[in-house]
Amino acid sequence: MDKSVRKISRREFLGVTKAVAIGGIVAAGIAGGVSGYLARTPEVKEVTKTVAAWPPVEGLRPIKVGYVYVGPVGDYGWSYGHDRGRRWADERFKNVESFYIESVPEPEVISAIESLVAKGCELIITTSFGFMDGTAEAAGKYPDKYFVHISGYRSGAAGNAPQNMSAAFAEFYQLYYLCGLAAGAITQTGVIGYVGAYPIPEVVRHINAYILGAQYAYKKRTGKNIKAHVTWLFSWVAPEDARLAASALIDDKNCDVLNYTEDTPAVLMVAEDYQKKGRKVWSFSHYSDMRAYGPTAHLTGPVANWGPIYLDFYRMVATNTWQSVDIWSRVGDYMPWRWRQPLEKSTAGKEEGTVYLAPISPVIPNEWVNLIKQRYEEMKEYLFEPFTVEGHDPDGKEPIRDQDGNVRIGPGERADRGTLWSMDWLVEYIEEPLPK
Amino acid sequence: MSLEWVGSVLAGTTSVGVVYLLGSLGEIYAERSGILNLGLEGIMALGAATSFITTIAWGHAVAFFVAGVLGILMGLLLAFFTVSLRLNQIAVGLAITMLGSGLSGFIAFPTTRKTILRALNPELPSTALEAQSAPMLPSAPLPFLKDVPIAGPMLFNHNPVVYVSLILAPTMWFLLFRTSVGLKIRSVGENPGMADALGINVFRIRYLTCMLSGAFSAMAGAYLILGFQPFWIEGITGGRGFITLSLIILSAWSPLRAVFGSLLFGGIEVLQYRLQLFGFGAASPQFVLMLPYAIAVITLSLLSIESFRKRISAPAALAKPYYREE
């Protein structure tokens, strides 16, 4: 049925072609073999193709979809996650041909979109924040094509882009809060750490959510406040740096539970190394289930499946029911129904919807696993939000303060989307300032 | 700053620094003989990719061997174009860097990698085929020595490749500066015409140093993924090849000083994150993160100044092709 063909990636293609170009002379020897191979490599890869007959659904025409990725799909991180979502949606939709271009530098998004349009794609999905303006421009240029941009704020629905452009994001802060509960439940030192990619609102609210969860659990467990440390990589994919940063948090600050925003399992692997040496250090999955990289050190972690979001857009396009939307998918979204489950039937740690928890480690004491499950289930029905006094303080009294002691969220308040979307302050328990 | 903290920083420094040290040892020989191997970064990436795959299939020892052989082949390629065809070394080097980086991404891509792994060792379990990380070199702490404060964690609590590299540095310094082979290599890099007239085979020497440089660069890549950070990503070298080139200048083409240069760059890398946690530049850590690259850019630019090259006694014939007839 589906036939996946992997060919040489664009980056590799460019790398090798440049090599051939510069060493025009150099090429004599190498190029014979290499360029012969490359000559038949198209830049846009056709990845799925419907071969067998799929019963034609009335009014549902076959569609072509193009994806633009910022990184290589072969790694473990962000683009890999989107490619997994693409395959998930393709598998279920069946009557679709999808294409992708990987490792596209952000300024080159328009030419990437153009080559996908030339391939006949009518739905184009761009998956990096930096692609936002280029995507909006292309949406203006191709009014009869449909565009979805991931992780930005421009869409027809928001009123700052053409109507044929939608925005979507799978949001993690709730899951980071649950990771925080696990951290607060298991830390022995009372000090936890975070390896951050960039000090941008998305990462900042994930850090804050994680620390708030840890403070809640640790305070309830011991009556003391949690201490937290953050280091910054200024990179999304940097396993060597993440490794050094994680060791610094452990060795210098005595952190024993580390969370992170970095596209590889490097931090989890460091925690596993320490476990092997007999020091109890714990960490999490990030974007996909990474248990294999830290079987002992793994607690749980935020996981995303972009597939349901993509499938939704496939349907809209194929049934001619497009409407520009601005999707911010959280726990409970893209599930058959929004209803919390009783503890014994909780689906925390199982795959569902677009954002869910990686399997929960049995090392977390039972009462805390139950709390994680309870909160997860309550979030499905909007009964619980991390950025509230109830999420921060077990007694439900202490407001959420920033590092300067200013009250940011008081009793009865709940951070709204605008607050979360533009968060530029760290909670009081973190010792390092937020880089400006 | 306790003794333990210093020890832990220095331990990290050594384990990062050896990447640079291995790369620079071979490259110093090449540059001393007049060959600038700008392909170092690409050969390093290729070495990392091949050793990542062969380690899973056959284990660590074979992985270093395969990486070394592949590095020698890349060195031969470099030598063929720069020594025999006398092409511009900068252009050839950059081409090799791009070729190496591209090929490394290609062979280590999950689907290609699986095919290669199945071909190399059909008995591998599926977890090994799927794994995106290499099994790391086992640590081999030296008894008693490892408990010495500071020097213990810094030098005697690592994997065997670290020890071998640290022994290789003085050995290669001795070979280069105290033996007739070393004298030949250096004279070829200073004045190839004169060396030729004295009966030294300039071409053979340069071919050999190219191969040596290739082998060491590839093994630096192998160490990077097997000894320091085992998770494979495309572009795993992250500019370390170019940083190696600049630290060779800092160490004025001496294998012994290269030990200190490597540890300096390794130390900067480790300290970036340690310093953030001590509040040093915490409000704008990007400046600290920039340091290794800034130093690399500065030293590489300095090299282009003629008077500076003379002062640090750069090999006079560096990056110049040799024509016998002229």
SS3 A150: strand
Architecture category of domain A44-170+305-329 in CATH: 3-Layer(aba) Sandwich (3.40)
C-beta of residue B318 within 8 angstroms of C-beta of residue B31: yes
Q: Report residue A310 as tokens.
A: 């993509």
Q: Looking at chain A from residue 231 to 250, which residues have their Cβ under 8 Å from any Cβ of chain B?
A: 231-234, 237-241, 243-245, 247-249
Distance from the B243 Cα atom to the nearest Cα atom in chain A, whole angstroms: 15
Please tell me the distance from the alpha carbon of residue B25 to that of residue B218, in angstroms, as a whole number.
12
Nearest to B79 by CA among B36, B112, B109: B36
Tell me chain A's radius of gyration from C-alpha atoms: 23
H helices within B159-283, ranges in order? 160-178, 180-190, 192-197, 202-223, 240-250, 255-277
Tell me which chain B residues have a C-beta less than 8 angstroms from the C-beta of A248: 270, 273-274, 276-277
Residues 6+ apart with CB under 8 A from B223: B18, B19, B22, B161, B165
| From B87, B103, B133, residue closest to A269, measured CB to CB | B133
Distance from the A248 Cα atom to the nearest Cα atom in chain B, whole angstroms: 5
Q: Looking at chain B from residue 1 to 20, which residues have their Cβ under 8 Å from any Cβ of chain A?
A: 5, 8, 12, 16
Q: B180-190 vs B202-223: helix axis angle to the nearest 10?
A: 100
Q: What is the DSSP letter of B240?
A: H
Please tell me the distance from the alpha carbon of residue B18 to that of residue B220, in angstroms, as a whole number.
8
Q: What's the average model confidence in pLDDT over B299-306? A: 78
Please tell me the distance from the alpha carbon of residue A126 to that of residue B188, in angstroms, as a whole number.
54
Nearest to B104 by CA among A147, A16, A312, A47: A16
User: Which of A45, A203, A244 should we substitute to test contact with B (largest number of B Cβ atoms within 10 Å)?
Assistant: A244
Q: In a 10 Å sphere around its CB, with 0-12 CB exposed, 13-18 middle and 19+ buried, how is residue B304 labelled? A: exposed
Please tell me the distance from the alpha carbon of residue A407 to that of residue A403, in angstroms, as a whole number.
10
| Homologous superfamily of the A173-303+387-421 domain (CATH) | Response regulator (3.40.50.2300)
Q: Looking at chain A from residue 376 to 435, which residues have their Cβ under 8 Å from any Cβ of chain B?
A: 432-433, 435
The pLDDT of residue B309 is 77
SS3 A326: strand
Tell me which chain A residues have a C-beta less than 8 angstroms from the C-beta of B87: 23, 25-26
Q: What's the average model confidence in pLDDT over B194-214? A: 95
| Ranges assigned E (strand) in A204-293 | 227-232, 257-260
User: Which of B14, B44, B98 should we substitute to test contact with A (largest number of A Cβ atoms within 10 Å)?
Assistant: B98
The pLDDT of residue B312 is 78
| From A15, A72, A232, residue closest to B285, measured CB to CB | A232
Cα dist from A4 to A47, A98, A131, B109, whole Å: 5, 10, 26, 15
Distance from the B17 Cα atom to the nearest Cα atom in chain A, whole angstroms: 13
For the stretch B93-110, pLDDT in tens is 999 999 999 999 999 998
Nearest 10 degrees: Cα torsion A212, A218, A221, A224: -110
Please tell me the distance from the alpha carbon of residue A177 to that of residue B104, in angstroms, as a whole number.
39
- Touching check for B228 and chain A: CB below 8 Å? yes
Q: What is the DSSP letter of B152?
A: H
- Touching check for A252 and chain B: CB below 8 Å? yes
Nearest to A158 by CA among A436, A421, A431: A421
Residues 6+ apart with CB under 8 A from A355: A170, A171, A172, A174, A175, A302, A303, A304, A305, A329, A330, A331, A333
C-beta of residue B34 within 8 angstroms of C-beta of residue B319: yes
- Touching check for A75 and chain B: CB below 8 Å? yes
Query: Looking at the domain covering B17-132+160-311, what would its CATH class be?
Result: mainly alpha
Half-sphere exposure of A277 (CA within 13 A, CB side): 12
Residue of A nearest to B272 (CA): A245
SS3 A346: coil
The pLDDT of residue A59 is 52
Query: Which is higher by pLDDT, A73 or B18?
Result: B18
For the stretch B45-82, pLDDT in tens is 999 999 999 999 999 999 999 999 999 999 999 999 99
Cα dist from B57 to A200, B115, B219, B234, whole Å: 41, 12, 17, 20
Distance from the B197 Cα atom to the nearest Cα atom in chain A, whole angstroms: 29
- Touching check for A293 and chain B: CB below 8 Å? yes
Do the Cβ atoms of B98 and A16 come within 8 Å?
A: yes
Q: Which residues pair with A73 in a beta bridge?
A: none
Please tell me the distance from the alpha carbon of residue B112 to that of residue B158, in angstroms, as a whole number.
32
Query: In sequence order, what DSSP letters do the residues of B13-69 get, joined into one string?
Result: HHHHHHHHHHHHHHHHHHHHTT---TTHHHHHHHHHHHHHHHHHHH-HHHHHHHHHH
Q: Looking at chain A from residue 26 to 55, which residues have their Cβ under 8 Å from any Cβ of chain B?
A: 26, 29-30, 34
Q: Are strands A165-170 and A146-150 parallel, antiparallel or unpaired?
A: parallel
Q: Looking at chain B from residue 118 to 147, which residues have their Cβ under 8 Å from any Cβ of chain A?
A: 127, 130-133
SS3 B231: strand
Do the Cβ atoms of A239 and B231 come within 8 Å?
A: yes
Tell me which chain A residues have a C-beta less than 8 angstroms from the C-beta of B74: none
Please tell me the distance from the alpha carbon of residue A123 to that of residue A206, in angstroms, as a whole number.
31
- The band of B326, judged by pLDDT with boundaries at 50, 70 and 90, is low
What tens-digit pLDDT sequence spans chain A (436 residues)? 444 444 455 555 555 545 444 444 444 444 444 444 444 444 566 565 444 444 444 557 899 999 999 988 877 878 999 999 999 999 998 889 999 999 899 899 999 999 999 999 999 999 999 999 999 999 999 999 999 999 999 999 999 999 999 999 999 999 999 999 999 999 999 999 999 999 999 999 999 999 999 999 999 999 999 999 999 999 888 999 999 999 999 999 999 999 999 989 999 999 999 999 999 999 999 999 999 999 999 999 999 999 999 999 999 999 999 999 999 999 999 998 889 999 999 999 999 999 999 999 999 999 999 999 999 999 999 999 999 999 999 999 999 999 999 999 999 999 999 999 999 999 999 999 999 7
Q: Report residue A49 as tokens.
A: 């193709």
Do the Cβ atoms of B132 and A75 come within 8 Å?
A: yes
| From B99, B229, B277, residue closest to A240, measured CB to CB | B229
The pLDDT of residue A28 is 43
The pLDDT of residue A414 is 94
Q: Looking at chain B from residue 70 to 109, which residues have their Cβ under 8 Å from any Cβ of chain A?
A: 77, 80-81, 85, 87, 91-92, 94-96, 98-99, 101-103, 105-106, 108-109
| From B98, B238, B282, residue closest to A433, measured CB to CB | B282
C-beta of residue B191 within 8 angstroms of C-beta of residue B322: no
**Structural domain boundaries in chain A:** 1-41, 44-170+305-329, 173-303+387-421
Do the Cβ atoms of A22 and B94 come within 8 Å?
A: yes
User: Which of A7, A12, A41, A234 should we substitute to test contact with B (largest number of B Cβ atoms within 10 Å)?
Assistant: A12
Query: Which is higher by pLDDT, B5 or B63?
Result: B63
Residue of B nearest to A434 (CA): B283
Q: Report residue B237 as tokens.
A: 């070298």
Residues, chain B, total?
Answer: 326
ipTM for the predicted complex: 0.91
Query: Which is higher by pLDDT, A103 or B32?
Result: B32
Please tell me the distance from the alpha carbon of residue A248 to that of residue B276, in angstroms, as a whole number.
9
For the stretch B229-269, pLDDT in tens is 999 998 899 899 999 998 998 888 999 999 999 999 999 88
Please tell me the distance from the alpha carbon of residue B322 to that of residue A6, in angstroms, as a whole number.
44
C-beta of residue B52 within 8 angstroms of C-beta of residue B124: no
